[in-house]
Amino acid sequence: MKSYEIFNMIIDEEAYDQEEVTADFTYQDQDYSVTFKKGDLELVNVWVFKNGTSLPANLSENIIEQIRADVKNRI
């Protein structure tokens, strides 16, 4: 069973001449957003949402890899 749940995914095909994929997910009872380059799924950024604000998040490489594989399967 996954330790996270993706609840929204956006494929932005015109963002700064770079196609990107953003996935919003819940992990350990917190909401996060991760953005990858669409072509090679290179990590662009990760944010955690707390108290109505977004802050840079520090997630393990393992969870990032799991989400990357899930995103790849969905696009």
Instruction: List, for residues 20-67, the tens digit of each pLDDT value.
Output: 999 999 999 999 999 999 989 999 999 999 999 999 999 999 999 999
Residue 13 confidence (pLDDT)? 74
Q: Is the pLDDT of residue 73 over 60?
A: yes
Is the separation of the CB atoms in 62 and 35 below 8 Å?
no
pLDDT level of residue 12 (50, 70, 90 thresholds)? confident
* pTM reported for the whole predicted model: 0.89
Residue boundaries of the structural domains of the chain? 4-74
Give the pLDDT confidence score for residue 16 in this predicted structure: 64
Q: What is the dihedral of CA 70, 72, 73, 74, to 10 degrees?
A: 90
